[in-house]
Amino acid sequence: MENTGKTEEQVKSRVCKRCKTSYNPSSNDASSCRFHPSFFVCRRHDDQKRYYELGPDDPPYAAKFYDCCGAEDPEALGCTTSFHISYDDN
């Protein structure tokens, strides 16, 4: 009494482990995935690279930004595009 029914007719959408968006593997191209290659960090900006002014009431660690491009909005669109990466890929 084995159930060998396979349902591989449907294209399974996958979830990108980088941007957490579900995508269709057949339409995955080099500009599908928008992401930040670095993490969103909470620390002082590196004065060597760029200087960001803090408000008069902000503590020096108030700066939160993406380490890669300096975007200060966590919702900011990724500064880099590439293929989506599924959890199955290695």
The binding site for Zn ion (CB under 5 A) comprises: 16, 18-19, 33, 36, 66, 68-69, 79, 84
Minimum distance of Zn ion from residue 22's CB (angstroms): 9
DSSP track, 53-72? PPPTT--TT--EEETTT---
Whichever of 16 and 63 has its CB closer to Zn ion, that residue is 16
Whichever of 59 and 87 has its CB closer to Zn ion, that residue is 87
∠ Cα 63 45 43 (to 5°): 50
Minimum distance of Zn ion from residue 5's CB (angstroms): 31
Could you give the CA distance from residue 49 to residue 31 in angstroms, rounded to a whole number? 27
Could you give the CA distance from residue 41 to residue 2 in angstroms, rounded to a whole number? 52
Whichever of 33 and 63 has its CB closer to Zn ion, that residue is 33
Minimum distance of Zn ion from residue 65's CB (angstroms): 9
Give the containing element (helix H, strand E) for 42: strand 40-42
